[in-house]
Structure 1
Amino acid sequence: MLRPQRETSPPLPWSTIPLPFSPTPLDWGEIYSALQLGAIDGAESGPASALSMKFNEVVDYMTKTEHIHLITGLVVGEAWWNKLSPEQQEALRSSAIDAGREMSALNNAADAAANAELQENGMAVSDIDTTEFVEAAVSEIDALGLTEAYEEVRATLDAN
């Protein structure tokens, strides 16, 4: 049975999906040595993070599951928001969307560059068919009672 690292924060929704491994809680700073010593068999990491942590020195393979996509939210209080004029609210909303798109593009470019460098340094980077993973995640969204929230976020993303 594989022993991959998982975040030490509360379990991610996918952690309850029956998969053929036993996730091991481990702090980020301990992953390199745990991989090196064989205490864990794998870890969650984006390409840029894997490169900065030099995981290619201790593992030979990375599989791109794309099960986590980082987002940056602009969070404000309702009282403050309500003090803004409708024009200011729209300006802030549209600026946040533009900034989010720019950051996503920068993140995607950084990941592509990191994947290339990891491969240049000898790591095999591969894609997989994520269909089963996506189907299992959808059932988890339902099980956690997050269907309505998911649909609202999906509609917002699709509209922008």
Structure 2
Amino acid sequence: MASAAMVSAASACEITLRSSDTHPEGYPTVVAVEKMGEMLEERSDGRICVEVFHSAQLGEEKDTIEQTQLGVIDLNRVSLGPFNNIIEETKVFSLPYIFRGTDHMHAVVDGEVGEKILNEFQNHQLVGLAYYDGGSRSFYNSQKPITSIEDMEGLKFRVMQSDVFVDMVDALGANATPLPYGEVYSSIQTGVIDGAENNWPSFESSGHYEVAGYYTLDQHLIVPEVLVMSQASWNKLSPEDQELVRQAAKDSVPIMRELWAEREKASEEKVRAAGVEIIDDIDKQPFMDAMNAVYDKHVTSEKLKSLVDEIRAVQ
């Protein structure tokens, strides 16, 4: 009934923007785009609506990026990882241990560096609107507690379809297996892979904690998520409506961050209560030292080196 009501409301608008997200209903990124839609509808006097398709209803991230570039999907909330092989500049946000913590990440994406990288999307049939939080990503697996870099040896981990992610896992002595997010649960369950890496809410909401009983808080990545719009859809809007969309997207960011902090806490409590072994007393330095090879391979152009320096200089 709720779905029917949403479709009915959307059909009453002059412009209905279809938005994709792989995460389930109620997830902070999904709710944030829904809130953005409410703001847009109100500010446009009911002319512009957003219809959110959660739970990968429109496809996994790699496929939805292509559909968004073609204008089939209007809005898309995606992790920056899958963009690494499309937009070179996004690689810097996916570099292991590039951010000192969440506050540092926020300062970077909210500032000049974040704006520079959003602007790069326009060269790929996309408009970068805003950054959302993706939390700290850590390794989990079904085999054993990982207490040191030596424990990574030989384990098979799912990663996003990104060369940076593959090389990161390889540099730690494990085996990287790029897989769509939706295939991870069954792949761990059947032993195709031993585990994956993600944040607290994704580890919990996906049910991966049910099949992977060991979670090591190495926090190797703090990769932002990004909300993008199809350039084709953007071009159909008047300049005034483009500004409404851009501002509503930016105004949804603090809402998302607040929801994210609450969800992280709730997810951690649920995972701990389920009996998952959490390894948080770990020496990160050997993990960080192993990343030198990843930086040497991927930070090759002067542009990327400059971006890395700019990120590190942000206080």
For the criterion TM > 0.5, the same-fold answer is yes
Q: Take 1:19 and 1:140, find their aligned partners in 2: how far apart are those partners?
A: 10
Q: Take 2:310 and 2:166, find their aligned partners in 1: how far apart are those partners?
A: 20
Amino acid at match of 1:42: G
| 1:32 matched residue in structure 2 | 185
| 2:284 matched residue in structure 1 | 130
Change (3 A) 1:53 1:21: same
Alignment: residue pair count: 140
Change (3 A) 1:136 1:107: farther
Deviation at residue 153 of structure 1 after TM alignment: 1.7
Aligned to 2:308, which of 147, 150, 156? 150
TM-score by length of 1: 0.70
Aligned to 1:44, which of 183, 197, 200? 197
Q: Is the CA contact (8 Å cut-off) linking 2:157 and 2:194 kept in structure 1?
A: yes
SS of equivalent residue, structure 1 residue 4: strand
Aligned to 1:10, which of 137, 141, 162? 162
Deviation at residue 32 of structure 1 after TM alignment: 0.2
| Structure 2 segments unaligned to the other structure (5+ residues) | 1-153, 229-246
TM-score by length of 2: 0.38
| Structure 1 segments unaligned to the other structure (5+ residues) | 76-91
Change (3 A) 1:117 1:54: same
Amino acid at match of 1:120: A
Q: Is the CA contact (8 Å cut-off) linking 1:61 and 1:123 kept in structure 2?
A: yes
Amino acid at match of 1:152: E
Change (3 A) 1:148 1:33: same
Amino acid at match of 1:44: E
Q: Take 1:42 and 1:101, find their aligned partners in 2: how far apart are those partners?
A: 32
Deviation at residue 141 of structure 1 after TM alignment: 2.6
| Identity across matched positions, percent | 29
Q: Which moved more, 1:55-64 or 1:104-113?
A: 104-113
| 2:206 matched residue in structure 1 | 53
Compute the RMSD of aligned alpha carbons.
Answer: 3.0
* Structure whose residues are more often strand by fraction: 2
| 1:112 matched residue in structure 2 | 265
SS of equivalent residue, structure 2 residue 279: strand
Q: Is the CA contact (8 Å cut-off) linking 1:63 and 1:126 kept in structure 2?
A: yes
Amino acid at match of 2:289: E
Q: Take 1:126 and 1:142, find their aligned partners in 2: how far apart are those partners?
A: 29
Q: Is the CA contact (8 Å cut-off) linking 2:159 and 2:176 kept in structure 1?
A: yes
Higher relative contact order structure (alpha carbons within 8 Å, sequence separation ≥ 6)? 1
| 1:80 matched residue in structure 2 | none
- Is 1:23 matched with 2:176? yes
Q: Is the CA contact (8 Å cut-off) linking 2:171 and 2:291 kept in structure 1?
A: no
Q: Is the CA contact (8 Å cut-off) linking 1:141 and 1:150 kept in structure 2?
A: no
SS of equivalent residue, structure 1 residue 151: helix
Q: Which moved more, 1:24-33 or 1:58-67?
A: 58-67
* Structure whose residues are more often helix by fraction: 1
Change (3 A) 1:59 1:73: closer
Residues 108-152 of structure 1 deviation map (CA, whole Å, 9 limit, x = unaligned)? 442232112101011112222211222333553344223321111
